[in-house]
A and B are shown apart, each in its own frame.
Chain A
Amino acid sequence: MATTTTTLITPAGATDVELTDDGFFVDPSVWTEDMVPELASREGIGAVTDSHWQVVRFMRSEYQQKGTGPSVRALGKTSGVSVKDLYALFPKGPAKIAARIAGIPKPKGCI
């Protein structure tokens, strides 16, 4: 799968990370919370609110426990944020966008 190297600017400085051609972290372990504002702004999210953080941290913990990020429906049931609110926070696809911001791979959609 094709990947690209992107430079992220964080308070700590500039870091190069490898992303898949659809924008997901190739190596989730290089992600840090410092990268979130920059990653969010690349998704068109100007201000990162507490609700954004709630979802991003939840995605990260689900990935660590289960090996994959949750679907939108599962997110809506267990993250503490409803599906409607998820779309307000991450327009155009909360599961995918929050996964990109949380530095985890694309959630395993079923076939």
Chain B
Amino acid sequence: MTANRLRRLYSADEAEIVVVDQDDRHLYQPGLLFMPFGLTHVEDIVRPRGRQLHDGISYRQSAVDSVDIIDDQVLLADGTSLEYDVLVVATGAVLVPEETEGLTGPGWMEKVFTFYTPEGAAALEAALAAFDAGRVVINIIDMPIKCPIAPLEFAFLADWYFTERKMRDRVQLTFVTPLDGAFTKPVASQQLAGMLAEKHIELVTEFNTGEVDGVEGKLVSYDGREVPFDLAVVIPAHGGAEYVGRSEGLGDELNFVPTDMRTLQSKARPNIFVIGDATDVPTSKAGSVTHFEGDVLVENIVHFLVGDELEAVFDGHANCFIETGFHKALLIDFNYETEPLTGHFPTKVGLPLLKESRLNHLGKLMFQWFYWHSLLPGRDIPGIGAAMPTAGKTPASVD
């Protein structure tokens, strides 16, 4: 997306743009949520990477060994190197399930799954189809994770799925989170906790999973609490891309890249910028955030290249559909300062916020089309700018 936008701004004589990635499979990650319920298949959500790039952008398929931030070079796994004037780190986040004792031990991919990979989502589809009765537990190991709302969506969809199969009364659903509520922001947390209760999904909070026992079927917290399961759907701990840990001065202890939350310039070097899940900025790791960051990022690269001051304008805007099952969805819209509020988006006439509707569900489904055809090519969705809109919103009541 960044490469495509920059390619439109600069001619081939003005700027050489190279994209490096380690494989040729661009995955539409929001699609993973639907795979375990048989609502989509992996072929429908993967497209070749090279084809998402405009002409005039070089694509190098290779893993990255490390970045030398002093000499402005990216060292590739094949031993070659690429020099840069400006580097954009867009390498996202990775799962680190091995950091949790027992998670990838006995029971992994048999009784314990994650839907955060295509392989896991496919295996989980088979396991859910064969599930007859018992306890299904959904657990977030720790924050941050990509798409913090997806585990809740999974719980809502599981309630719908088992209801459709006329076996909901034989399944106990439990949502286990390290947070102190269903969600961290007050207005949304109350709404979502209420929905969990309505759907008879048990909520266990402040649970920091220290161990997953895939044989006996239980999660064990660091403070000795246990949650038994017959099938566990786990969202493992996340970190930044591995090469960041090998690049001295670039990343933090979790391999995310410290980034100025307003300009998106890295704190490591002025000529390194960061976008998406790879940053450490205090908002959700979400596709919508990345899209809104893109606007600010590209403007600031332009400023940087001519020696102008950067614009400190990114507001942490996130806009997320929450599938709630039964062909309905919620929409939440928020930023660094403003929690998800009720009302409508983007104006008083628009999609309802923090309220279930079929329109929102359609919005979520259509979003995949926009992703491939508008967002990745670097175009905007009409009427939706980068900054979070306030028109159409109802302020939270002050206590």
**Cα distance, A58 to B252, chains bound together (Å):** 16
Which residues does chain A contribute within 8 Å of B210, judged by CB atoms? 83-84, 87
Whether, in the assembled complex, B334 has its beta carbon less than 8 Å from a beta carbon of chain A, the answer is yes
Whether, in the assembled complex, B227 has its beta carbon less than 8 Å from a beta carbon of chain A, the answer is no
**Cα distance, A72 to B334, chains bound together (Å):** 26
Produce 1/0 per residue, B245-258, CB < 8 A to A: 00000001110000
Neighbour of A71 across the interface among B142, B185, B318, CB < 8 A: B142
Asked if B208 and A110 make an inter-chain contact with CB atoms under 8 angstroms apart, the answer reads no
**Cα distance, A67 to B184, chains bound together (Å):** 19
Asked if B222 and A2 make an inter-chain contact with CB atoms under 8 angstroms apart, the answer reads no
Measured CB to CB, the closest approach of chain B to A64, in angstroms, equals 15
Asked if A72 and B142 make an inter-chain contact with CB atoms under 8 angstroms apart, the answer reads yes
Which residues does chain B contribute within 8 Å of A110, judged by CB atoms? 143-145, 148, 184, 282-285
Whether, in the assembled complex, B127 has its beta carbon less than 8 Å from a beta carbon of chain A, the answer is no
Which residues does chain B contribute within 8 Å of A77, judged by CB atoms? 253-254
Q: Which chain A residue shows the least CB distance to B320?
A: A111
Which residues does chain A contribute within 8 Å of B237, judged by CB atoms? 73
| A contact residues, total (Cβ < 8 Å) | 19
- A residues near B (Cβ < 8 Å) are 2, 68, 71-74, 77-78, 83-84, 86-87, 91-93, 108-111
Which residues does chain B contribute within 8 Å of A92, judged by CB atoms? 206, 223
Neighbour of A91 across the interface among B179, B223, B252, B283, CB < 8 A: B223
Number of A-B pairs whose CB atoms are under 8 Å?
Answer: 52
Neighbour of B334 across the interface among A73, A78, A84, A111, CB < 8 A: A111
Given contacts A110-B143, A110-B284, A110-B285, contact A74 B254 (CB under 8 A): yes
**Cα distance, A73 to B140, chains bound together (Å):** 14
Which residues does chain B contribute within 8 Å of A109, judged by CB atoms? 143, 179, 184
Within 8 A of A (CB), among B126-158: 142-145, 148
**Cα distance, A91 to B208, chains bound together (Å):** 11
Whether, in the assembled complex, B337 has its beta carbon less than 8 Å from a beta carbon of chain A, the answer is no
Chain B, interface SS category: loop
Which residues does chain B contribute within 8 Å of A84, judged by CB atoms? 210, 222
Which residues does chain B contribute within 8 Å of A83, judged by CB atoms? 210, 222
Asked if A111 and B148 make an inter-chain contact with CB atoms under 8 angstroms apart, the answer reads yes
Neighbour of B183 across the interface among A78, A91, A111, CB < 8 A: A111
Pairs A–B under 8 Å by Cβ, sample size 10: A68-B282, A73-B142, A73-B254, A77-B253, A77-B254, A87-B222, A108-B282, A109-B184, A110-B283, A111-B334
Sort A-B residue pairs by CB-CB distance and give the 7 closest, nearest first: A87-B222, A110-B144, A77-B253, A110-B143, A78-B253, A111-B184, A108-B282
Whether, in the assembled complex, B399 has its beta carbon less than 8 Å from a beta carbon of chain A, the answer is yes
| Most chain B C-beta atoms within 10 Å of own C-beta, residue among A86, A108, A109, A110 | A110
**Cα distance, A74 to B239, chains bound together (Å):** 11
Which residues does chain B contribute within 8 Å of A108, judged by CB atoms? 282
Produce 1/0 per residue, B304-317, CB < 8 A to A: 00000000000000
Which residues does chain B contribute within 8 Å of A74, judged by CB atoms? 252-254
